[in-house]
Chains A and B, each alone.
Chain A
């Protein structure tokens, strides 16, 4: 028990560099553990590829590791899945191959998937980070994103009829779509914020519930009012006009999949959020409330207003993610299983980043790589998609755990420990 405490203490007290090293070590460990799981999973599977091994690694004694094309034999066991091949596909496949290989294009499909996912997660991650910094566990970024997506899609479809064609239309429609998405998400975030501030309703519960309302409320609205008449199957809106999509400038991705403009906007916002939190009076209020609400009240912070404002900003960032999901990835609003869990992944991204807006950039890159690499694995190997998900999950779990334990340690009051002991523990003396 006391050993566990010591470890927690070390984690809570870790410096920035130590935390980065811990994260890298955790990543390496997750790769080793994941590799073993891949190997074991392949033992019972039926192999497809040929049996010519291309590498033999001799070990002491008569043991030998044989790497076949697409499978591996170790200690006399033969597995159909070669962990090295799996990781090669996961990490290098995520960007469509090695950049110095011939034929590699920076605008290849895998890069688009990777960058698009990273960009969207940057917004949802920022959304969660703002709320967490204010001490609010906003689980509702998903719902805020969904509303942002629907409202921006509907707004664009409505206004497009009156907007000029071509780039002039883009200049009107695109900002309008982003703003309407932000407003919708902001309102959806302000609701649980107000409930928390003025009715003392736990924001974890209300945001989770409002996620359901958002998911099914938007589905209902689309099927009743905004359904695409040409669509055979799913409940979805019409396609937004081409000139409302985020344009592929300065150079050409396919446009509906990824645009550097969106990434630049996300990066700028990450720095803006960082500046607001650490450079403004409002940000000081937010951070004080998040760390010590009592001290914030003492310092003249209006607790209710700060809660509502933080949740509104958080929701607005989620709403922008939704708008871009429409304008970047799909060109229309989709429902049901077509909606990716960007909002929920945003929670992990933010925790991974220690709720630091700039750290969120790296968290979203990791998630983007795993998404795109997972695709590559599914296309290029016979490793089942479930195993791919397990590998991604493991990596996130391992990388997030140290941060997670730091949060736990802090909430247990570890870290204050030193000071308390040093001051004799004797605070009250009457």
Chain B
């Protein structure tokens, strides 16, 4: 018992209609990194919110260092030495790093009337020194990289005396290099006796960073294993409940003529900043062209220019020889462009519509769903039911509102709707973001099937392994520029990672056919 940092016993947490955690046990050894692995909806975050005092369980007990505790709020948990770093950082961007760290517990002077800035900076400095963090406390949060911001979050919890740090999907926002740095940070923390709980749904990360792994599925704890005694396939099976293919089998396929051409496209935002700078590339029929890059390097703006949500400041978009730069979004849909949007909650689905209505989204003026302006609801319903059946959307109920579906099923429905348009061009943005392994496998197969059927597929994803595996050619974006186009089979993950970070490693062979730059 003495070596146990945290123990959860029989935690049950229900939400209306869902059991998020069902009698979950979890024991975390002191000084270890413990990964909490599971698909979306498995109940990982819920369990950690219970430990952090954000949620109160219906049943079960929380033990910290062998003592039974009841947390009414995060404050209680912090007092017990538990800290949580959320997916979305909670930092005050215009404030300096030291101020963010001490916020709420500032060292004071003049009888508590003023913040002792010098002492605060010194304390933060000492903290950085102790854990080997390369952070300058006087920098402003908005000026530093996401990786550093994450370290600031970690420092914040350490400053508050946390012994157990919960990290919720900490790698989601990081470049591959920053992920490596994070692993170093975790090593340093555990070396100093801290305990880390690492929430993830990525097998590789769990294997790489953790000492022990607990797999959750459908709110139940499936098993706790030591990384030395397991492998990725076994973990995947535990997560999904059946065998899964982790590697995508990409068949040989000779691409045809250019279907989509992006020609010198520049997109300027409202602040006169070029979000996309002179980007040119072509996607051929029967080809998957991937674009890799850390989120926020112009991919979203580029996609919006191609799909007609934004107009480019300059440049041309050409589909099958026709210049469609001036075409409206609706014309592009009619022309046969399918688009899996980045944000399914904002764009891809109307959350308060049922699946019947969501299946109509984008086709509401097209035959056979609409005749003379009148919607043929029977046809529309049949269409939605077809999508649900073909793409295995669960629960199979066309009358369910979109928001009642899990993320993976929402995504499957969108993918189904877009692919059923029989498009000539498919723009797929983060098609498997937040989607569980089983659905990911399925969506990958569908994308490759389109490729076999000689459709042009543009795939944008920040998952490096995904774009590498699926793409025939891979463009890398950095700060709005397409820095290079490479052969994903000939280029290593590290090399692509460096390109994504704006660096140029030696010996990369460019596949750029037009508009090459030195």
Measured CB to CB, the residues of A under 8 A from B are: 9, 13, 279-285, 288, 291-292, 294-295, 297-302, 415-416, 418-419, 421-430
Contact = CB atoms under 8 A, between A and B. Distances in A.
A280 B374 contact: yes
Contacts of A297: 309, 329, 347
B65 to A, nearest CB: 28
Interface string B354-373: 00010011101100001001
Contacts of A9: 16
Contact of B172 (A418, A421, A425, A428): A428
Q: How large is the interface on B (under 10, 10 to 19, 20 to 34, 35 or more residues)?
A: 35 or more
Nearest to B294: A430
Contact of A298 (B172, B331, B339): B339
Contact of B352 (A291, A300, A418, A427): A291
A402 B424 CA distance: 49
Nearest to B219: A422
B370 A423 contact: no
Nearest to A422: B18
B20 interface: yes
A423 B403 CA distance: 10
A430 B150 CA distance: 15
A280 B360 CA distance: 12
Nearest to B330: A300
B172 A292 contact: no
B324 interface: no
B85 to A, nearest CB: 14
Given A418-B17, A425-B45, A426-B201, A302 B330 contact: yes
A428 B169 contact: yes
A427 B407 CA distance: 8
Interface stretch (B36-44, B228-236, B388-396, B486-494): B36-44
B350 A292 contact: yes
Contacts of B168: 426
A279 B374 contact: yes
A133 to B, nearest CB: 12
Contacts of B361: 288, 295, 298-299
B459 interface: no
Interface of B: 15-18, 20, 38, 40-46, 87, 168-169, 171-174, 199, 201-202, 295, 309, 328-333, 339, 341, 343, 345-353, 357, 360-362, 364-365, 370, 373-375, 377, 403-407, 433-434, 462-463
Contacts of B38: 424
B330 A418 contact: no
Nearest to B360: A284
30 contacts: A281-B370, A281-B375, A283-B375, A288-B364, A291-B352, A292-B347, A298-B309, A300-B330, A300-B332, A302-B330, A418-B404, A419-B351, A421-B15, A421-B46, A422-B15, A422-B17, A423-B406, A424-B41, A424-B42, A424-B43, A424-B46, A426-B199, A427-B433, A427-B434, A428-B172, A429-B172, A429-B433, A430-B171, A430-B295, A430-B463
A422 B20 contact: yes
Given A298-B329, A421-B15, A421-B18, 4 more contacts: A13-B16, A291-B351, A422-B20, A429-B463
A294 B329 contact: no
Nearest to B346: A294
Given A281-B365, A291-B352, A430-B295, A424 B171 contact: no
Given A415-B403, A429-B201, A285 B364 contact: yes
Contacts of B351: 291-292, 416, 419
Contacts of A427: 345, 407, 433-434
A423 B404 contact: no
A302 B333 CA distance: 13
Given A284-B364, A298-B361, A426-B434, A416 B339 contact: no
A281 B373 contact: yes
Given A415-B403, A422-B18, A281 B364 contact: yes
Among A291, A299, A430, the one with the most B-chain Cβ atoms within 10 Å of its Cβ is A430
Contact of B375 (A284, A295, A425, A426): A284
Given A282-B373, A419-B405, A424 B360 contact: no
A423 B87 CA distance: 14
B364 A423 contact: no
Contacts of A422: 15, 17-18, 20, 41, 406
Contacts of A294: 343, 346-347
Given A292-B346, A292-B350, A284 B20 contact: no
Given A291-B350, A421-B20, A427-B434, A300 B15 contact: no
Given A300-B330, A300-B333, A427-B434, A419 B403 contact: yes
Contact of B173 (A280, A295, A302, A430): A430
Contacts of B329: 297-298, 300
A424 B362 contact: no
Contacts of B330: 300-302
A299 B15 contact: no
Contacts of B201: 426, 429
Contacts of A430: 171-174, 295, 433, 462-463
Contacts of A291: 350-353
Nearest to A430: B172
A9 B16 CA distance: 10
A418 B20 CA distance: 11
A298 B347 contact: yes
Given A424-B45, A428-B169, A416 B403 contact: yes
* 10 interchain residue pairs of minimum CB distance: A300-B330, A298-B347, A430-B172, A423-B407, A284-B364, A299-B362, A281-B370, A294-B346, A419-B403, A299-B361
Contacts of A298: 309, 329, 339, 341, 347-348, 361-362
B477 to A, nearest CB: 15
A150 B256 CA distance: 66
A412 B373 CA distance: 34
A426 B41 CA distance: 8
A114 B284 CA distance: 69
A424 B17 CA distance: 14
Contact of A424 (B44, B174, B345, B346): B44
A428 B87 contact: yes
